[in-house]
Amino acid sequence: MKPFKSHALLMLLTSLVVLGCDRNNYTTWNCLSSSGSKSTMVTKKAQMQFQDKQFDYCGSLGERSFFSKVCPANIQDSDFVFTPASGALHSNTQDYQCSAL
């Protein structure tokens, strides 16, 4: 290969790697409450967006992940408990069944 072509190929591959590393991984979920109302939830990195509010990831116990506006000392006291495998989302006031899009 000529030096110019190999340099151009190297630059292209480097650009693709950098772009691949910069992607945000997120999952969008459709959630149905026990009372029948629909909501959208987005889990992205260490945050959850639900009903136009943002919650921080507080930790996990087994399959359950805990999210809250302000993480409590005991993560089991968080605002939301989410089990991605089953799609179950529980808050202090409502239960939801979520499915990934």
Alpha-carbon separation of residue 21 from 12, 44, 51, 85 (angstroms): 14, 15, 29, 26
- Among residues 71, 73, 39, the alpha carbon closest in space to that of 55 is found at 71
Each residue's pLDDT expressed in tens, for the chain with a length of 101 residues: 455 455 444 444 444 343 444 456 889 999 999 999 999 999 998 999 999 999 999 999 999 999 999 999 999 999 999 999 999 999 989 999 999 98
Residue 59 has a pLDDT of 96
Q: What is the pLDDT of residue 7?
A: 46
DSSP lists the bridge partners of residue 90 as 81, 95
Query: How is residue 17 written in tokens?
Result: 């790697």
